[in-house]
DNA sequence: CTATCTGCAAATAGTTTGCGTACTC
DNA sequence: GAGTACGCAAACTATTTGCAGATAG
């Protein structure tokens, strides 16, 4: 995950190498599920001149190149991560907002059931499933959610 | 699903009854997974003076009252439906954008697996799973997605 | 009659785009 | 040196808010 590594990745995908692109890839490797704003904020110290619109444009370029993907998690807008990461399903906590990842294999049963019922082929890696993380589920002061689980267990 | 029905529902939840609220509830019953804009558009003929901001405010009120819920499906923003509908999991097609519903029971296996691995308690009814509907999955002219399924089957 | 709701218009937040300069190859 | 990317500022879209008149209870 050195700067040189990112140069190779960019070149391999036919992208020009720029300071901004390497910095943004570095941020993606370092942060968990950053929003556009989070990436920009994270790089404020290292690259003070980095413009928010450049972050948007760069993410778009990196995504087109297949280096990066995004998922829609909650109202906070899309979050980005490296395409090379092991594909994972995003669990978004309705209480604290944290995002937990699980291997897409956990969704194998769902995929089979959905395919049988509707012919729909799901892409777990692109998806967000909402719910309550272990801590928030234990917190009875939170609104409705945890008190009335839809599925037993 | 008569107008009178919605009056009762509103009163039962401590809400004032207005033409706009009844109309919006009617639209929610009629449309599948409407966005705010879709509701507004649908009611254009019946309630030409209905303002978009009223739709936003009304949905917020109805949601606070527990009559309506929303789910985040794709980049198109939140979609709304009646809380009384059978809870369902939303499948959002990356190709054509259509939303398919399946019973939350399809996610029982996923819920158990995720709970065991991470303690996370999922809320399938609030969630969106992306993928490709039967038609789009068969369409080889579409980008990346359908050609490379992550999960076999 | 009082409290709340609605329509209108302006404000705000998030994202995209045009343009001239700076940088990569 | 040619073509692309960047920073800046303005445009655009989606959503929220303030206010005065209209409506429900």
Per residue in B106-115, pLDDT (tens digit) is 999 999 999 9
Q: Is the dihedral of CA A23, A60, A88, A152 positive or negative?
A: positive
Nearest to B113 among A106, A117, A132 (CB): A106
Query: Rounded CA gap, B96 and B83, in Å?
Result: 26
Q: pLDDT tens digits, chain A, 153 residues: what are they?
A: 555 799 999 999 999 999 999 999 999 999 988 999 999 999 999 999 999 999 999 999 999 999 999 887 766 678 899 999 888 888 888 777 778 889 889 999 999 999 999 999 998 888 888 888 888 888 655 544 433 333 332
Residue A31 at interface with chain B, using a CB cutoff of 8 Å: no
Distances (CA, A) of B152 to A88, A109, B134, B138: 15, 11, 15, 15
Task: Find the residue in B nearest to A88 (Cα).
Answer: B150
pLDDT score recorded for residue B148: 38
Distances (CA, A) of B139 to A37, B101, B134, B135, B146: 35, 21, 9, 7, 8
Nucleotide D19 C1' to residue A138 CA (A):
44
pLDDT score recorded for residue B57: 98
User: Does any strand D atom come closer than 7 Å to the Cβ of B77?
Assistant: yes
Query: Helix count (H) and strand count (E) of chain B?
Result: 6, 6
Work out the pLDDT band at B37, boundaries 50, 70, 90.
Answer: very high
User: Which helix (H) or strand (E) element contains residue A93?
Assistant: strand A88-93
Strand C bases contacted by the protein (CB, 7 Å)? 4-10, 14-18, 23-25
Mutate to test the interface with B, among A74, A87, A92, A131 (most CBs of B within 10 A): A131
CB contact under 8 A, B75 and A72: yes
Phi, psi (5° rounding) for residue B115? -65, -40
Question: Are the CB atoms for B133 and B100 separated by under 8 Å?
Answer: yes
Please state whether B40 falls in left (phi above 0), alpha (psi between -120 and 50) or beta: alpha
Which runs of E-coded beta strand occur in B33-116?
Answer: 68-72, 78-82, 88-93, 99-103
Decide: helix, strand or coil at residue A98.
coil
Query: Rounded CA gap, B14 and B49, in Å?
Result: 25
DSSP structure class, residue A35: B
Query: Rounded CA gap, A57 and A55, in Å?
Result: 5
Tracing tokens 């649908």 back to the chain, one arrives at B42
pTM confidence score: 0.81
pLDDT digits (tens, 9 = 90+) for B78-95: 899 999 988 888 888 877
């Amino acid at each position: 995950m050195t700067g040189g590594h990112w140069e190779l990745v960019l070149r391999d995908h036919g992208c020009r190498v720029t300071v901004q692109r390497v910095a943004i890839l570095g941020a993606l490797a370092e942060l968990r599920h950053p929003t556009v704003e989070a990436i920009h904020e994270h790089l404020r110290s290292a690259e003070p001149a980095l413009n928010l619109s450049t972050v948007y444009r760069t993410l778009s370029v990196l995504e087109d190149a297949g280096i990066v993907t995004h998922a829609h998690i909650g109202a906070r807008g899309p979050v980005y991560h490296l395409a090379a990461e092991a594909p994972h399903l995003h669990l978004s906590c309705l209480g604290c907002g944290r995002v937990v990842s699980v291997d897409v294999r956990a969704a194998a049963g769902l995929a089979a059931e959905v395919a049988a019922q509707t012919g729909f082929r799901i892409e777990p890696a692109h998806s967000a499933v909402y719910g309550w993380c272990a801590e928030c589920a234990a917190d009875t002061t939170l609104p409705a959610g945890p008190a009335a689980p839809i599925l037993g267990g």
